[in-house]
Structure 1
Amino acid sequence: MSDIKKVVLAYSGGLDTSIILKWLQVTYGCEVVTFTADLGQGEELDPARRNAERAGIKEIYIDDLREEFVGDFVYPMMRANALYEGVYLLGTSIARPLISKRLIEIAHETGADAIAHGATGKGNDQVRFELAAYALDPDIKIIAPWREWDFKSRTDLIEFAEKHQIQVPKDKRGEAPFSVDANLLHSSSEGKVLEDPNEEPPAYVFQRTIAPEEAPDTPTYIEIGFEKGDAVTLDGEKLSPATMLARLNDLGRDNGIGRVDLVENRFVGMKSRGIYETPGGTILTVAHRAMESLTLDREAMHLKDQLMPRYSELVYYGFWFAPEREMLQALIDKSQEHVEGTVRLKLYKGSAVVVGRRSDKSLYSDELVTFEDDRGAYDQKDAEGFIRLNALRLRTLAMRRRKG
């Protein structure tokens, strides 16, 4: 790594990545390019530019990736109804391949030898960043400062910052009560006050949603329109993917929807406790599932449900650009060809409940399910032969047991 001349750093502009920026300059004596992604995290990005300029950075990239994030990453994942370990909507996981993709693109544009990230050596993000990067450029060099430097404590980091005239805000001098990652899909909080899984999280941890018990006493009704499995309209208004998710986030926030308290299995082998808030994503998942229930063939739906845990693991582990994820995506996208129509939902005190769904591609037949005269659409006598054929092997097994 000693021949590295230029590095593209995933840079938030905060204290930790500002320390990493200076550490790269000191340790490698290299030029640093900063890249800050606007994924809808809701933070002011101008400080990132100012802090990079203060550090003497000449090439500064601040990219608005919200539409690409939702349209090309979140929506394909939503078509799969992806839930890691049955609960987590993968808000952090799905952002990492896009950041890595842009890091590699900027490295190629600027002639950089390497990329760098601020993920620690204990978490999943280091794996996600680096697997995606190697999938896109097998020759790229990757610097992970948390796995290399000798800093042992927060005090060491603060001392390094002060030595190199990096501004340290007062609220950054002590240990943060918990760490946060946020984007347009979700916010996640973990560590410190949240490390005991038997302790209820403090109210101040929640940033994207009000408490369900504080939500309005009157329900909110909305209607989401789908085309090929993607949400395209809200109450009849056509919206871009990022705008749709932002609107649903507001609705979910105001009705206390989307909170998850999860103990999960990290890819690196340990269990961790996280608090996730995914208001808009929760509403979308409920609505999409309802649309599929009306328009997907039974066996197609059941096959898709069997594949979902595997798909979710691939996203969580960082294999977005792996061939198996792309193969599964092709199958999932094929299943969505007729998933279109509208779903009505009632949002109320932490819940998103389906109250109606309709589609021109519906497989639901009044003639088949009615308890009234079905006019010959279904002959109930046919069921006897169907049952006897399916019971044949069970009867054979029962006769063997009886003989025994």
Structure 2
Amino acid sequence: MSQTKVNKAVLAYSGGLDTSIILKWLQDTYDCEVVTFTADLGQGDEVEDARSKAIAGGVESIYIEDLREEFVRDYVFPMFRANAIYEGEYLLGTSIARPLISKRMIEIANAEGADAVSHGATGKGNDQVRFEFGFYALKPDVKVIAPWREWDLVSREDMLNFAEKHDIPVERKREGSKSPYSMDANLLHISYEGYDLEDPWCEPSEEMWRWSVSPESAPDSPEYIELTYQAGDIIAINGEAMTPAQVLTELNRLGGKHGIGRIDIVENRFVGMKSRGCYETPGGTIMLKAHRAIESLTLDREAAHLKDELMPRYAKMVYNGFWFAPERVMLQAAIDASQVNVNGDVRLKLYKGNVDVVGRRSEQSMFDERLCTFEDDEGAYDQKDAGGFIKLNALRLRMAKLAGK
């Protein structure tokens, strides 16, 4: 029995094996009422299954909420304004979902008068950090219960035995397998870890992927699409106005159809270890390419370069769970200010796993054909001026050489 008395706890609940066991474990270990919260971030059919499982587990207060629009509008889109990508490859699909879940859990805890929150993240992963940073940033005195850091269940077999002992239904997704893939899905991506992926030399099987065809099996003809931007966010696809969640849903469909967005990486976790994961991010892959294209036309050179210098810091903040930290909020304000003139259209060609930019236009374009033409520029640029520019900027190089003889 825990030394700290808990009257009511809000549990981040998926209805899967881990959180079903945690629900019962919380009830027994802390002798408390458990409120379950399931966020629909676009992960699919499993959301409503959570309701019946929570009811079967004796839960009276059940929250199941469709947060897809808020997720894309207030978390995914702001992150893509920064062109955030972690360690050159990872588009932060899992990372960016955690702040919203944390925020809503604290709001529910306040509404329910709960004195604790709980999650199913393991003591080895990043998610425990992301969840708990969010909890403490929004409710500094909240008690956090992390069962994986408290209980004595150390293996999948232990968990299956616990489930059998307490009559907790278990769905065996891979018959005969002792370690199925650990998957996490939302509108931005789906991730795969564990099982044979624990060997970084092992190539993922084609059967593992859920959202996309292989590039080899993608259509033999390219597909052209046009994205319309307003203040750095996509507001229409092929001229059809869409909400943020609709945009990402449609880009996922298009990207998956053409084999876009698969990656297989070894990443550095915040807790110190390396981990191997595979990710499908079809819509996000398209968004990153298109956003950089419209920025190339509309952003001042130094503003664009400063964004690129700051981006790795921003991406690391998101990856490590510092979404609510003052430095991320401050940096977001600067990024958003840079997006005022990021308006216009980008035309893309989708083909066999590739996203090619084939056109971009904007009423705020800083591209001036007269300045860069090889033909007569009608006096827009005096090439003689370049001589003085070069001599002034080369002065320190000349002085260094002369000083060194």
Fold in common (TM above 0.5): yes
Letter in 1 for 2:165: K
Shift of 1:232: 0.3
Aligned to 1:152: 154
Tell me by how many angstroms 1:364 deviates.
0.1
Answer yes or no: is the 8 Å Cα contact 2:81–2:291 preserved in 1.
yes
Q: Of residues 244, 252, 255 in structure 2, which corresponds to 1:252?
A: 255
The one-letter code of the counterpart of 1:360 is E
1:334 counterpart residue number? 337
* TM alignment of 1:147-296, pairs within 5 A: 147-171=149-173, 174-296=177-299
Q: CA deviation at 1:172?
A: 6.8
Matched residues in 1 for 2:320 and 2:230: separation? 29
For residue 390 of structure 1, what is the aligned residue in structure 2? 393
Does 2:23 correspond to 1:12?
no
What's the counterpart of residue 103 of structure 1? Answer: 105
Give the letter aligned to residue 396 of structure 2: R
Distance 1:307 1:349 in 2: 32
Partners of 2:212 and 2:336 lie apart in 1 by 31
The aligned runs of 1:337-376 (5 Å cut-off) are 337-376=340-379
Runs of 4+ in structure 1 off by over 4 angstroms are none
Count the aligned residue pairs.
402
Q: Does 1:304 align with 2:313?
A: no
- Same amino acid, percent of matched pairs: 66
Question: Which moves more between the two structures, 161-170 or 21-30?
Answer: 161-170
Which string of whole-angstrom CA distances, capped at 9 and with x for unpartnered residues, describes residues 75-121 of structure 1? 00000000001111000000000000011000001000100000000
Normalised to the residue count of structure 1, the TM-score between the two structures is 0.98
Q: Deviations over 1:260-288 (max 9, x none)?
A: 11111000000111101100000011000
Spell out, residue by residue over 1:124-156, the C-alpha distance to the aligned partner (whole angstroms, 9 max, x if none).
Answer: 000000001100000111000000001122121
What's the secondary structure of 1:118's corresponding residue? coil
When residues 175 and 293 of structure 1 are mapped into structure 2, their CA distance, relative to the original with a 3 A threshold, is same
Q: Which residue of 1 is the match for residue 46 of structure 2?
A: 44
Alpha-carbon separation, structure 2, partners of 1:143 and 1:212 = 43
The one-character-per-residue Cα deviations of 1:367-389 (angstroms, maximum 9, x if unpaired) are 10111111110000000000000
Where structure 1 has 5 or more consecutive residues not aligned to the other structure, the ranges are none
CA RMSD of aligned residues (A): 1.0
**What residue identity is the alignment partner of 1:114?**
A
Q: Give 2:306's aligned amino acid.
A: L
Residue type matched to 1:98 in 2? L
3-state SS in 2 of match to 1:345 = strand
- Residues 225 and 348 in structure 2, CA contact (< 8 A), matched pair in contact too: yes
**Counterpart in the other structure of 1:138:** 140
Bigger shift: residues 66-75 or 10-19:
10-19
Relative to structure 1, the CA distance from residue 241 to residue 154 in structure 2 (aligned partners, 3 Å threshold; closer, same or farther) is: same
Distance in 2 between residues matched to 1:170 and 1:388, nearest whole Å: 72
CA contact (8 A) 2:179 2:194 kept: no
Q: Distance in 2 between matches of 1:86 and 1:294?
A: 23
Alpha-carbon offset, residue 164 of structure 1: 1.1
1:170 to partner: Cα distance: 4.0
